[in-house]
Structure 1
Amino acid sequence: MHPISQLYAVGMTDLRQLRALTAVVDEGTFTDAAIALRTSQASVSRAVADLERDLGVRLLLRTSRGARPTVLGRRVAEHARRVLAEVAIIERLAEQRSDQLRVGFAWSVFGRLTTPIQRRWQADHGAVVFVQSNTPTAGLLEGEVELAVVRRPLPDARFETSLVGAEPRCAALAVDDPLARRRRLTLADLGRRAVAIDRATGTTSTELWPTGAGPSDLREVHGMEEWLTVVAAGEAVGITSRATADQFPHPGIRYRPVLDAPPIAVWLVWWRDDPPAGAGAFRELVCRLYADGS
């Protein structure tokens, strides 16, 4: 096995060795490396010697003035830095998990309820961070968050799904669209128009309309930004939850309620076998605010 490959097979089992090597390379002497690491010179020397023995190669040339890396030692130190940087990221992630709740969403969090929920949670429990991720699980499957807000069914047994509220639907239209002058709309008003849809995370489909009365064309988009751009340009109309209208006002768009469209259910989702510590309390808070509308 190549010595650098052995670094991952053997050396990574002891990060102390990698830190000692990079410190000596950076500082130039074992004494200065020990000061930087806040340990003893003997400990640094022993860690580097152990790493050299594990890899079966010489990494440092000891001199009367200190130490300098061999050619291979310099390359190993470069790889060691990358390993240590990744470990630091993992450690930061672990710290974040312990002191903050990360909640994913695709289109909107909770609309006008977002700020009250955020403030009440922070007052009683600590930080909550909302992370936008245009995936069906709003970043949960990808490991970006501990909880996710979704507005379409998620039939995956790996996830626990809890209904927390429902939101009325709104139409989104360009400001110069004739329909934007009206205060309320119906699905029939939007029939035979081009409608922007996001198949991955959106809540609009032709199933909203009776057979033969639906959109004349479906304009497929990918995510909130593209949807807003298409609607503002008048290339299509959109149908979304009122939370989107509350959370994403746009100077080129008017939102109007759609009276006969069914409401959109809102769920909280988390890993069934790894529920976050605050899942129950957060769910109760969200349900309470949806129930009283505050």
Structure 2
Amino acid sequence: MSIELRHFRCFLAIADTLSVTRAAERLHLTQPAVSRTLRRLEQELGIRLVDRSTHHLALTPEGLAFRDRAAIAVAAFDRALGQAGHTVWPLRLGHAWSAAGAYTTALLRRWHEEYPDTPLELLRVDDRTAGLARGEVDIALLRGEVAAPGLITEQLTTESRVAGLPADDPLAHRTSLTLAELAGRTMALNTVSGSTTLDLWPATARPATSITIGNTDDWLAAITGGRAVGVTTTGTARMHPHPAMAYVPLSDAPPVPVVLAWRDAPGHPRIPDLIALARAVIGAAGNAAADNHGYGGGVGARRGPAHHSGE
């Protein structure tokens, strides 16, 4: 038996739902059919993708690694079919939050002016790599740590960290704050796509309580609703102003790298053009701002994980 696209789709449904029953409902198949398809895929690959030894279905380490490769293959197939009858091939630029910050409008307008025949689609995907590792986008603007294998990253600039507070908070009218002044508060942490963790604070002075958030909208709602405070970057302050929200600079928090990432594999032919334009629009302007404000972020492409500490 050869592996077919239906085997990939079946496995991805199981990986997404972590349930054979729910996967069968999604695919409009019977549970035995889904189980047989998964078993045949594992036999063909010679690896175990799903751990069935517990009460709750879970992916094995091999299953987790294969999930991303399968998602890329299915996305490429679907996109090829979708583009078959069209001459325009849009370039998909992913971001998890705040896009290119203050440079977003300039980047989009410059692209439209210089490459009018290739639409640049800006897509927010609530994922650590903004959908890049799963094949949902062609290239991505990311912040902080980029640990997914098979990606090339280039740091364009850095953004200063700021505290996010309710506008009526006693600290909201300060000109600057320190991390220690936030340690006694409940922190909203975006664990899906954010760049801030409790490791930002010294081990002996970390916030005692935190709430887990899955995206920027919920992060903003938690803070403006008075449930918590947060730490983010100037990009969020510029892209998400809110009358019930205050952003206050943090004087002792390290800046967050802003990187452009793409897969180390053949991709959209316009990716090099977007990289060059991002260097010109974001990199040059960002480095000039860094020189003026005393912080910097060098420019250099690298393969593999880019590790940085620190929405």
Matches within 5 A, 1:112-123: 112-123=102-113
When Rg is computed on C-alpha atoms for both structures, the one with the higher figure is: 1
Matches within 5 A, 1:54-203: 91-93=81-83, 98-126=88-116, 127-203=119-195
> How far apart are the structure 2 equivalents of 1:95 and 1:277?
18
Counterpart residue identity of residue 155, structure 1: A
Report Cα offsets for 1:58-99 as digits up to 9, x if no partner.
xxxxxxxxxxxxxxxxxxxxxxxxxxxxx9975434577943
User: 1:178–1:94: structure 2 CA closer, same or farther, 3 Å change rule?
Assistant: farther
SS in 2 for 1:107: coil
User: 1:93–1:142: structure 2 CA closer, same or farther, 3 Å change rule?
Assistant: farther
User: 1:263–1:277: structure 2 CA closer, same or farther, 3 Å change rule?
Assistant: same
SS in 2 for 1:149: strand
> How far apart are the structure 2 equivalents of 1:222 and 1:109?
17
Counterpart selection for 2:207 from 209, 212, 215: 215
- 1:138 to partner: Cα distance: 0.2
Counterpart selection for 1:245 from 225, 237, 244: 237
Report Cα offsets for 1:253-294 as digits up to 9, x if no partner.
111111211110111111111233222222222222332248
**Residue in 2 aligned with 1:32?**
none
User: 1:193–1:138: structure 2 CA closer, same or farther, 3 Å change rule?
Assistant: same
Contact 1:117 / 1:286 at 8 angstroms: preserved in 2?
yes
TM-score relative to the length of structure 1 = 0.66
User: 1:97–1:214: structure 2 CA closer, same or farther, 3 Å change rule?
Assistant: farther
Normalized per residue, the structure richer in helix is: 1
Stretch of structure 1 that moved more, 281-290 or 202-211: 281-290
Contact 2:129 / 2:148 at 8 angstroms: preserved in 1?
no
> How far apart are the structure 2 equivalents of 1:285 and 1:189?
40
User: 1:158–1:98: structure 2 CA closer, same or farther, 3 Å change rule?
Assistant: farther
Identity fraction in percent: 34
> How far apart are the structure 1 equivalents of 2:155 and 2:85?
29
1:292 aligns with 2:285: yes
User: 1:121–1:177: structure 2 CA closer, same or farther, 3 Å change rule?
Assistant: same
> How far apart are the structure 1 equivalents of 2:196 and 2:102?
21
SS in 1 for 2:211: strand
Contact 1:185 / 1:257 at 8 angstroms: preserved in 2?
yes
Report Cα offsets for 1:143-167 as digits up to 9, x if no partner.
2211111113223332122211111
**What is the CA RMSD across the aligned residues, in angstroms?**
2.3
User: 1:88–1:239: structure 2 CA closer, same or farther, 3 Å change rule?
Assistant: closer
SS in 2 for 1:161: strand
Tell me which of the two structures has the higher relative contact order, counting C-alpha pairs closer than 8 angstroms and 6 or more residues apart. 2
SS in 1 for 2:171: helix
Report Cα offsets for 1:147-199 as digits up to 9, x if no partner.
11111322333212221111111111001110101121111221121110011
TM-score relative to the length of structure 2 = 0.62
Matches within 5 A, 1:43-54: none
Contact 1:164 / 1:283 at 8 angstroms: preserved in 2?
no
- 1:237 to partner: Cα distance: 0.6
> How far apart are the structure 2 equivalents of 1:93 and 1:150?
27
Report Cα offsets for 1:109-142 as digits up to 9, x if no partner.
0111000011011111132111011011101133
Counterpart residue identity of residue 127, structure 2: T
Contact 1:204 / 1:240 at 8 angstroms: preserved in 2?
yes
Counterpart residue identity of residue 260, structure 1: D
